Amino acid sequence: MSRKVSIFVDDDEDSTEFDQVREFLERWGPAITIVTYDTGGWEHYWDLLVPESALAEIPEHWLCASEWTDYE
């Protein structure tokens, strides 16, 4: 079963977390659906459909509330 999640990271001083999100997405490949990706330059935002096993790997501080998900 897939879960709806939204992820937000910024990389204004350090791109480590952005790089980690990219690695996460590459590692899970087609098991994850990227519904939305948006960037303001330093800020990066994704709406994703992820399997439960992938959700378990997402750090809590990446998750954010959005219209896409019910996460608060």
The count of C-alpha atoms lying within 13 angstroms of the C-alpha of 18, restricted to the half-sphere facing its C-beta, is 14
Asked whether residue 55 is assigned to any structural domain, the reply reads yes
Residue 68 lies in a domain: no
For residue 66, CA distances in Å to 14, 26, 29 come to 24, 23, 23
Residues 1-58 have pLDDT tens digits of 899 999 999 988 889 999 999 999 999 999 999 999 999 889 999 999 999 999 999 9
Q: Domain count of the chain? A: 1
DSSP state of 67: S
Nearest Cα to Cα of residue 57 among 28, 19, 15, 18: 28
Q: Within a domain: residue 11?
A: yes
CA 22 to chain CA centroid, nearest Å: 9
Instruction: Evaluate whether residue 72 is within a structural domain.
Output: no
Q: Report if residue 10 sits inside a domain.
A: yes
Which CATH number goes with the domain that contains 23? Answer: 3.30.30
This prediction's pTM: 0.90
What residue numbers bound the domain in which 10 lies? 2-62
Give yes or no for residue 71 having a pLDDT over 70.
no
Kindly state whether residue 7 falls inside one of the protein's structural domains.
yes
**Domain-located, residue 44:** yes
